[in-house]
Amino acid sequence: MNILNLLTKEKRVAGIEISDSVVRIAFFRPKKKGVHTTKEKKPEEDLVLIEEPIAANIIADGVVTDINLLGKTLKGIWEKAHLGTDYAIVAIPDDKIYSKIFSFPKSVDGVRLTEAMRLAISFQLPMKTEDLYLDWERVQSESHVNEILLSTIPRTVAQSYVAALELAGIKTLALESHLASIARAVKLTPKETTVFSKKTPDGATIFALEDGVLRFSRTLPLRVISEDKIPSEIKKLKMALETQLSAVTKKIVHEEELVNAKVRDDYAGRTELSEPKSKWLVPLGAAIRAKIPEGEDNLVSLLPVGTEEAYAYQRATTFIVLMRNLIIGVSLFFVVAYLATYLSMLSLSQRASERITTLSAVAIPPKLAEKEEQIRNTNAITETGAMFLAQMPVWSTVLTELLARTPSGITVSMFTAPNIAGRISLAGTAVNRPTLNNYKKILQDSPLLSGIELPLTNLEQEANIPFNVSFSLRDPGAIYYTQAH
């Protein structure tokens, strides 16, 4: 756990590319301050690039087939990198990611735009929304309509990646597709559309970018189309897309293989980028997003919560784990101190008894009197330690219970406990009201807690609902050290 990341507001975040055969990491590390002898302007950050192959059977068709193996692999790569951060923006294969741009009149804005988008999703999305994680962002363009980019991913697919990242000790702030990262890092001609094609072990992908926006994408898996037919299929898709875009925008559509693509000018001069530079587009694009200040990232994230909520959740989780470990550490310290005192006393007592037995016929020397005084002092210290432990509650029991009963969708931001016998309260936000009601029921089922009170407030809100739940311990005396152990 990086305690510095918890105590400081500014966080350094890495960009990670997870593919079916390789993991790549890009990380902007601040340069150490020093004296420069030349006037040449140098980057204020070092670009750390890491590339490690992974086993071919871990990911297939964009789906994680072995979560534990991927988690162990990522953990080994992450620990070897020594980046000094636990946070990352993660880009995953786009095989199972569906993206589409929706257009609305300029007059539809604000709340009306959100409602129109929800209505469009319910009628036009080809999948059930309850089986998906979805998010959208507003496209910045000079178009005469409002354009919204929607991206979705099956819940099970996203959850498998998140689970593997958690096993590796990586805190995921946002999950996005390879194509979204590429659009952020690749060099494009302004106001012109470029059609890219890339080959993968599982098939091929064709996608169109314009001014950093993903306009079209399609994956051609080998299980659907044979490898020898992929080139002709790509050609057909390119021709159809060129015809469609040219008819609407009257612009020239360029074609380019992704392997020949160039890095945008801001980073093209980086000497850290090895050839071909195009292989670094995905992790570099994720790392560029990682530089967005906390509170300003409104881009698509394929997680159950947005990027800003992920920041808050990871911070709260880190704090709870830190407090739990701290309390356990303090408890162990006093236990060890107690045992050491007891053993020392026992040893002194045994040695004193042996000397008294051996020298029973001899006059008591001054040193023996001193030993007896030491034993009396040791007994007094031992009794004091025992009294201290008897009055010490084991807070880790309460924190562990709360952590285990906090489901996905609940973000805890504040924990208040004035004393062991008083009312304890939690404050935070819930993604929706069913999740909040379910959280109350879970707390009521706890054998450790009682008197659960959840005031019904903010009834008009359907999402991101703030709450304040209070409760007391069913048996406060049960968590004192002498009872808990």
pLDDT means per 10 residues, the chain with 485 residues, are: 46 91 93 56 80 92 93 94 92 92 84 86 83 88 82 94 94 93 93 85 86 87 83 81 68 82 92 92 95 85 67 60 76 85 85 74 68 83 73 76 87 84 88 88 88 83 87 80 56
CB 290 within 8 A of CB 89: yes
3-state secondary structure 115-161: HHHHHHHHHHCCCCHHHEEEEEEECCCCCCEEEEEEEEEEHHHHHHH
Contact 182, 281 (CB under 8 A): yes
234: left (phi over 0), alpha (psi -120 to 50) or beta: alpha
Q: Are 86 and 177 in contact (CB under 8 A)?
A: no
Residues 160, 91: Cα–Cα separation, whole Å: 14
For residue 289, what pLDDT is reported?
Answer: 94
Q: Residue with structure tokens 């030491």?
A: 374
The pair of structure tokens assigned to 277 is 């530079």
Q: State the CB neighbour count (10 A cutoff) for residue 229.
A: 10
Q: Give the span between the Cα atoms of 76 and 325, in whole angstroms.
A: 24
Give start and end residues of each alpha helix (H) in 217-306: 230-249, 265-268, 281-290
pLDDT of residue 22: 94
Taking alpha carbons only, the member of 209, 184, 166 closest to residue 26 is: 184
Q: 337 and 330 in contact (C-beta within 8 Å)? A: no
Residue 476, token pair as written in the block: 């406060």
Phi, psi of 28 (to 5 degrees): -90, 105
- Does pTM surpass 0.85? no
Q: What is the pLDDT of residue 118?
A: 87
CB atoms within 10 A of CB 289: 23
What's the confidence (pLDDT) of residue 387?
A: 72
Token pair 């354009």 is found at 147
pLDDT value at position 384?
76
pLDDT for position 59: 93
Tell me how far apart the alpha carbons of residues 335 and 481 are, in angstroms, rounded to a whole number.
Answer: 10
Residues 168 and 162: their CA atoms lie apart, in Å, by: 10
Q: β-pairing, 98-105 with 145-154?
A: antiparallel
> Cα–Cα distances in Å, from 138 out to 31, 103, 305, 336?
34, 10, 17, 58
* Helices 307-358 and 366-390, packing angle to 10 deg: 150
What six digits make up the tokens of 440?
């109350």
